[in-house]
Structure 1
Amino acid sequence: MKAASYNLVAIVGPTASGKTAFAAHLAKAIGGEIISGDSRQVYRRMDLGTGKDYDDYLVDGCTVPSHLLDIREPGYKYNVYEFQNDFFEVFKKLQAQNVWPVLCGGTGMYIEAVLQRFKLIHVPANPSLREMLKDKSLAELEEILSTFRILHNSTDTDTVKRAIRAIEIETYYQTHPEIEVELPEVNPLIVGINIDRDARRAKITRRLEQRLKSGMIEEVKSLLSEGISPDDLIYYGLEYKYLTQHIIGQISYDEMFNQLNIAIHQFAKRQMTWFRGMERRGFTIHWLNAESPLEERVEMVKSLLLK
């Protein structure tokens, strides 16, 4: 099944919207494979904390092939430049095999770096800039980041280190306008999974409780026991930030749960702000109700692909 006008399906939406399970069912229905667009699911053994639910890829007893999951070791700092390279490598391979690439994720900057075909190269460290920014608060760093053109993902800058790296990347691109990169053409059908805010909030809290019961604290303890530093885990933000702070004694269990629960709600809100911003930047996103029957949503996307 192939339509001439599109060569990529992108499934976007906030955390807890059920986008991965939907993407898997869609991929199975159209003869596709999933390319993950999540900035943290690239790491091995970081499963519960990143929301990596392998059961979501199981459709009718078969596992839908996926790419860009479990491709780096914990402690590594994967970035948008590497993602763009890795994505297009998989994208070209699937195209050559006449397989639908189904990009699925909630990391807006990763998604848009592919769809906008940003000119990206490796950005080296800037020690003098880091020194200048080291004493600034996260709010101050985010204010600086807001002055740049849209390139870095504001939903991913929930730690000072990540925000400083974002500014470092943006500064480099501001001063190197000569960057030239050849990338394949993409003609995406973008589908958004929209979940009611109250339903999303309830699902986020319920899912957090379940993952804690399933061993999320033990997962982080295991990573620390491997020799990964607390700072490196805190760098990843959200679950790894608060769970690490709890494990090393900085905050209590209740403080960890409450602060993390709030942070995930805020993260989901920022994700939706990013996707609405994509619409303002000219992208058409076909929003589907997360509560409508899955099979019905699959058929709706299939009909869009054939138009």
Structure 2
Amino acid sequence: MKPALVVIVGPTAVGKTKTSIEIAKAFDGEIINSDSMQVYKGLDIGTAKIKEHEKEGIPHHLFDIRTPFEDYSAADFQIDAQLKIKQLHEKGSLPIMVGGTGLYIRSVTHDYEFTDVGADPEYRGMLEDYVEEYGPEALHARLLKIDPGRASQIHPNNIRRVIRALEIHHATGSLETAPAHRRAETLFNLITIGLTMDREQLYERINLRVDLMMDEGLLEEVQSLFDAGVRNTQAVQAIGYKELYAYLEGECSLEEAVETLKRNSRRYAKRQLTWFRHQMDVEWFDVTNGSINEKIPSILRFVAGKLNSESN
């Protein structure tokens, strides 16, 4: 019998945090962050990190485990998350992974193999950020430019293999890669919930969220990182930080930075939806018109059904 793992995915600002809390309360669960930027200390407002009072006593893991000066890759997350999942199962808790970084989630659920040959964690992290922002086709185009023959052997949606080929070329100058391996099936009784909503309503929510972040002190949060000398790191390439860095460096006005932040957030949400619809087997729940509270009972029934079917 495979161990159960709940995964909650969807674009930014759609309601994943609330959903995760309700599932955790109903099934004695604990929450594992799978957002690539919420691992960083000090990146709170801009990443919409859950606040202490919102946790409702539910344990949360893999938040605030790196400083903004450190790098953190999908390979790092895979190790940390798989260990945490094992620990939760051993204590009888249901692990619930929540986040929007598809590559991180897939590395855990399908046990991607990250070998040491030619490994460059910093470069890998940059590529992971690149594909999250620009999509798999743009990443594949980079490989196509370097090695058309190798690119022709790898589908653009096979992001792990594209990243691996680019990583080895970057580290060794070679176009040869060792055979890549991943499990065809998931390691878990995987219960994957996706939240979506009408595109225009989602964009309105994103715009409002950015305004609220600014009211809550996002500029001051970014200023503190800037003043601490955090430069050219993976952390401050995150949406919400790079745009305000441009303002602090005098490249644009504050108004222009905020508008760019909103635009980039909307584009990121669109890419997230595309990713999850093509890369994962997801049970989707539409929460248009703020119907998240109405959908919670259906989501809980879905989870219960999947758990019961596996145990019988």
Structure 1 and Structure 2 fold alike (TM over 0.5):
yes
Q: Shift of the alpha carbon at 1:74? A: 0.6
Shift of 1:289: 2.2
Note if contact 1:233-1:244 (Cα within 8 Å) is conserved in structure 2: no
- Correspondence for 2:92: 98
Cα distance per residue 1:78-114 (max 9 Å; x no partner) = 1000000000110110111111011111101111111
Q: 1:143 maps to what in 2?
A: 141
Corresponding residue for residue 147 of structure 2: none
Q: Tell me the SS of whatever aligns to 2:187.
A: coil
| In the alignment, structure 1 residue 250 sits paired with structure 2 residue 251 | yes
Separation in structure 2 between the aligned mates of residue 303 and residue 170 of structure 1, nearest angstrom: 46
Asked whether the 8 Å contact 1:113–1:151 carries over to 2, the reply is no
- How far residue 305 of structure 1 moved from its aligned partner, in angstroms, is 2.6
User: Which one of the candidate residues 51, 54, 71 is aligned to 1:54?
Assistant: 51
Counterparts of residues 189-208 of structure 1 (less than 5 Å): 189-208=191-210
> Aligned residue for 2:64?
70
Matched position secondary structure for 2:240: helix
Distance 1:113 1:253, change over 3 A: same
SS in structure 2 at match of 1:63: coil
1:109–1:151 Cα contact (<8 Å) kept: no
The residue number in structure 2 matching 1:269 is 270
1:288 is matched with: 285
The C-alpha deviation readout for 1:123-150, integer Å capped at 9, x for no partner, is 53499xxxxxxxxxx8976622584554
* CA distance in 2: counterparts of 1:50 and 1:215, whole angstroms: 13
Give the counterpart letter for 1:118 in structure 2.
Y
Determine the structure 2 residue equivalent to 1:223.
225
Taking only aligned residues, the RMSD between alpha carbons, in angstroms, comes to 3.2
Distance 1:239 1:140 in 2: 22
Pairing 1:10–2:7 present: yes
Q: Which residue of 2 aligns with 1:87?
A: 81
1:46-87 per-residue CA deviation (whole Å, 9 max, x = no partner) reads 1011111225743xxx32111110000012111000000000
TM-score, normalised to structure 2, is 0.78
Structure 1 runs of 4+ aligned residues shifted over 3 Å read 121-127, 138-142, 145-153, 163-167, 169-174, 178-181
Deviation at 1:171, TM superposition (A): 7.0
Q: 1:305 and 1:83 mapped to 2: Cα distance?
A: 25
Unaligned 5+ runs, structure 1? 128-137, 154-162
Gaps of 5+ in 2: 123-133, 145-150
Structure 2 CA distance for partners of 1:117 and 1:56, relative to 1, 3 Å: farther
Closer, same or farther: CA 261–104 of 1 in aligned 2, 3 Å: same
Name the CA shift for 1:269/1:218 in 2 (closer, same or farther; >3 Å): same
Contact 1:233 1:240 in 2 (8 A): no
Instruction: Figure out how many residues of one structure are paired with residues of the other and give that number.
Output: 276
Q: TM-score, normalised by structure 1?
A: 0.79
